[in-house]
Structure 1
Amino acid sequence: MSRSLTETFREHLLEQLAYFEKMTSELLRKAYPDTAKKEAIQTLISQYCDHVHSFLSGTITGDFDSMAWIGSYVTVVDDMDGSEEKYKLVLPHEIDGDLGHISFLSPLGSRLLLACKGDRIEVDSPSGSYGVLLSDVSYELSA
C-alpha cells in the first residue's frame, strides 16, 4: 500500500522536529560563533518549528505546496535578469550543489523558508543584496 504525499509530508515534518530537538544546540555551537548570527538562526529555527507544530495540529490548514518548507523544491526568478533557478531546501548535512540542494540556513534558503509562492524576497549575501520572486513551490516524494 502506498502512502499519500500528505502522509509522507507529515512524516518528514515529524522527522525534522526530531532533528531540531536533537541537533539545534550542536548546529548553532559549531556553525555560528557570532552571537548575533546565532540568535537570528535560533529564531529562524524556532519560528519554523512553531509553524510545523501548527500545521501538524491542524491550526494551519491548506495546500502545503504554496509555502516553502524544508524538503520543498522552489523556483526563483532573479529580479535583475529574469533568470530562473530551481533549488531544494534541505538540512545542512544534505547540501549538494550539483543537485541544487541548498541549506535552509544559507542566505537564500533562510529567506525562502516559509515564504509563499508569489512572494518577492530580498536576499543579503556575502556578495551583496539581490531580489528574487518565488515563482513556484512543490513538495515531491523522494525517489
Structure 2
Amino acid sequence: MNRSIMYQGSRTQLINQLVYFDEEKFNFLNQYFPEHNLKRSTVEQVLAVYATTLEKIVADLTEENLNSVALIGSQLELRYLDDDSPESYTIVFPHLADPNNNKISFLSPLGFQLLMAKSQETYRLDVPSGEIRLRVEGIKFVNSGDVN
C-alpha cells in the first residue's frame, strides 16, 4: 500500500494539531492558564517544542517516526517499575480526557510529563501522590488527537 495513503489520516491529525496550536495557542493558554505565571510559561515552551517535533514527523512520516515519541493521540504502554505492573494510556486534548477509559489530558500531571516521551526509556515522574518510576514500553499513534 502506498505510504501516503496509509498515513493520510495520521498526517491530517498532526497537521490539524500544528494549525490549532499556531492559530489558537493564546486562546488555549488563556482558557487553561488565564494567569501569566510560571506554569503558563512552561506549557507555552513545551507547546513550542511539541510543534517542532510534529513538524519533523510530518516532514518524514514513517511508522517508525510516528510511533517513536508520545504525541497527543498516542497510546502508551507503560510499566511501573516499583511493582512491575503494566498500564496503557492514550494522551488526548483536555476536552477528550476520560480517565475511566485511560484517556488522559496532555495537561494532566502524568500526560504533561509523558508528552514527547520516547519508547524504551525510563522516567521519574512527579504526580500528586508522590514520585513514580516507569518505563515506556511502546508507543502507537492511534489518531485520538482531535482538536475539536
TM-score by length of 1: 0.86
Number of the residue aligned with 2:104: 102
Displacement of 1:38: 0.6
Tell me if structure 2 keeps the 8 A contact 1:5–1:141: no
Number of the residue aligned with 2:56: 54
Number of the residue aligned with 1:14: 15
Q: Which runs of 5+ in 2 are unaligned?
A: none
Number of the residue aligned with 1:24: 25
Q: Distance in 2 between matches of 1:132 and 1:89?
A: 16
Q: Distance in 1 between matches of 2:133 and 2:113?
A: 11
Number of the residue aligned with 2:124: 122
Relative contact order higher in (CA < 8 Å, ≥ 6 apart): 2
Matched, 1:66 2:68: yes
Tell me if structure 2 keeps the 8 A contact 1:77–1:135: yes
Between Structure 1 and Structure 2, how many residues are aligned?
139
Q: Distance in 2 between matches of 1:92 and 1:124?
A: 19
Greater than 6 Å deviation, 4+ residue runs: none
Percent identity, please.
28
Displacement of 1:67: 1.8
**Of 44, 59, 62, which aligns to 2:46?**
44
Q: Once the two structures are superposed, what CA deviation does each residue of 1:39-70 show, in whole Å capped at 9, x if it has no partner?
A: 11001111000111122223x86612222111
Displacement of 1:103: 1.0
Q: Which runs of 5+ in 1 are unaligned?
A: none
Q: Which amino acid aligns with 2:67?
A: D
Q: Distance in 1 between matches of 2:5 and 2:115?
A: 23
TM-score by length of 2: 0.83
